[in-house]
């Protein structure tokens, strides 16, 4: 087991490539969940629209990184979220590796 940082990002699917670029450059693995719905301080996103699965939908990106990787990645993601909207959460996590 070892400590890692858990990075969770919810943003517009239109900006996905701008968010994934720094993750790819840092060689991070990530998972993407499309068509995320929910409610936040800036409003509600539902799946009632005819535009589901389009550029109006939100994505959820989950990634894990080391303490050293997190700051450069956040410095690149923060301006995208500030300009286009979205949220990013950073927390501590423990990676449990499988025995081989």
CATH number of the domain where residue 71 is located: 3.30.70.120
Q: Residue 62: what pLDDT?
A: 98
Taking the C-alpha atoms of residue 21 and residue 87, their distance in angstroms, rounded to an integer, is 17
Q: Residue 42: what pLDDT?
A: 60
> Residue written as tokens 């990184």?
65
Q: Is 69 part of a structural domain of the chain?
A: yes
For residues 47 and 40, the answer to whether their CB atoms sit within 8 Å is no
The DSSP H or E segment spanning 72 is helix 67-84
pTM of the model: 0.84
pLDDT at 92 over 80: yes
Taking the C-alpha atoms of residue 89 and residue 61, their distance in angstroms, rounded to an integer, is 10
Looking at the 3D structure of the chain, how many domains does it have?
Answer: 1
Which stretch of 14-18, 52-56, 60-64 has the lowest confidence by average pLDDT? 52-56
Q: Residue 56: what pLDDT?
A: 72
Residues 62-78, mean pLDDT to the nearest whole number? 96
Q: Is 75 part of a structural domain of the chain?
A: yes
46 band by pLDDT with thresholds 50, 70 and 90: low
Q: Is 59 part of a structural domain of the chain?
A: yes
């Amino acid at each position: 087991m070892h400590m890692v940082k858990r990075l969770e990002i919810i943003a517009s699917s239109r900006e996905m490539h701008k968010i994934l670029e720094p993750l790819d450059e840092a060689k991070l693995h990530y998972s993407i969940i499309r068509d995320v719905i929910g409610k936040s301080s800036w409003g509600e996103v539902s799946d009632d629209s005819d535009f589901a699965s389009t550029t109006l939908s939100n994505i959820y990106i989950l990634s894990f990184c080391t303490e050293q990787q997190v700051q450069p990645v956040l410095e690149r993601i923060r301006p995208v979220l500030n300009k286009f909207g979205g949220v990013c959460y950073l927390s501590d996590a423990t990676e449990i590796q499988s025995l081989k």
